Amino acid sequence: MKIQSFLAFLFTLFALLLLIGSVGYYFWNIPKPARCVYHTLDLKLETDHLEMQQCKGKLVKLYIKNGNSEDEYKISIDGPKWIIARPKKIRLEPNETGEIAIYVSPPLGTEGEFTSIITVKSWCVEDHTELWVKV
């Protein structure tokens, strides 16, 4: 009787994992709305190379040009914690250009070359640009 119970448990666990995987796959692959088909996004950094000193700050502007329809973009940075973006979100009308401030301030004891990936993402589109910093 114990082996049958164990096998029933394994079968139930397998069925549950299969169900969860199927639901996850379905939601992961939700098609984007039709309005996203022709959506565009252009990114332009004021400069993509900086030479810095420790404990000094610099501000670099990131220009985001929206495409065909109103959209809200989230900005994130993959890199050192002393490189930040403000604001973290921006809503733009069609063909409008927005400005994001990227502030770079390496702390004392920081030396070397660093590359940060700046990601701008909405439901319809995602783009990346790189910022190289030498301290």
User: Which residue range forms the structural domain that includes residue 70?
Assistant: 37-134
Instruction: Assess whether 7 and 59 both reside in one domain.
Output: no
Instruction: Assess whether 16 and 43 both reside in one domain.
Output: no
CB 18 within 8 A of CB 42: no
Instruction: Assess whether 56 and 100 both reside in one domain.
Output: yes
Strand order in the sheet with 113-121: 49-51, 126-134, 113-121, 71-78, 89-92
pTM listed for this prediction: 0.72
Instruction: Assess whether 102 and 53 both reside in one domain.
Output: yes
Question: 80-125 pLDDT, tens per residue?
Answer: 999 999 999 999 998 999 999 999 999 999 999 999 999 999 988 8
Instruction: Assess whether 21 and 74 both reside in one domain.
Output: no
- Residue 119 CB neighbours (<10 A): 16
Question: 17-45 pLDDT, tens per residue?
Answer: 777 776 666 555 565 566 677 788 999 99
Nearest-angstrom CA–CA distance, 36 and 112: 40
The tally of domains found in the chain comes to 2
